[in-house]
């Protein structure tokens, strides 16, 4: 599956601000055909297909998303290995999912901001991107805290017995 490349500003672009409306309504020949992007999925299967395409896009293009998936896999595997309770496993799973959900939202926000400002600098674009990244950072710190509280005691007990 191929993914659309980031937008390149046109040669005739000026330094004047461009409205979101004009960006959305101006046809650009180098962009892929996105006519179907505005339509509602015809059935539930297509909705899941599109959602999975978003997850796959994040996994393929976002290094941090891959890191979060790897750490979540390790945390869940360690929980299974240590035999933690079902409730504790659910807390670990939900915490890991929260981090990945926020990383997906961060990717979406960054894409929309990049579409809007293209390759120009705008202070509000920086704030939006920084705040989205900050949300991921806070959730990742919370996930480490939760995993530490749940996984470290049984891990320490297991290591001391070996």
Question: What is the C-alpha to C-alpha distance for residues 56 and 24, in angstroms, rounded to an integer?
Answer: 25
Q: Count CA within 13 A, CB hemisphere, residue 100.
A: 21
123 is catalytic: no
Check: CB of residue 113 under 8 Å from CB of residue 129.
Answer: yes
Check: CB of residue 119 under 8 Å from CB of residue 9.
Answer: yes
Q: Residue 62 in 3-state DSSP?
A: coil
Backbone angles phi, psi at 19, to 5 degrees: -80, 155
State the catalytic residue, choosing from 12, 88, 103, 123. 103
Give the catalytic positions in this structure: 103
């Amino acid at each position: 599956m191929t993914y659309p490349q980031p937008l390149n500003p046109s040669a005739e672009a000026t330094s004047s601000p461009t409205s979101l409306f004009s960006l959305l309504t101006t046809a650009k020949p180098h962009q892929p055909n996105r006519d179907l992007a505005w339509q509602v999925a015809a059935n539930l299967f297509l909705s899941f297909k599109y959602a999975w395409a978003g997850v796959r896009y994040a996994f393929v293009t976002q290094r941090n998303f891959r890191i979060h998936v790897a750490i979540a896999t390790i945390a869940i595997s360690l929980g299974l290995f240590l035999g933690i309770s079902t409730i504790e496993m659910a807390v670990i799973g939900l915490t890991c999912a929260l981090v990945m959900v926020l990383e997906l939202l961060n990717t979406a926000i960054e894409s929309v901001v990049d579409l809007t400002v293209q390759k120009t600098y705008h202070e509000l674009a920086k704030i939006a991107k920084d705040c989205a990244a900050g949300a991921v950072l806070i959730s990742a710190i919370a996930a480490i805290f939760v995993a530490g509280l749940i996984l470290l005691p049984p891990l320490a007990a297991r290591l001391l017995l070996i």
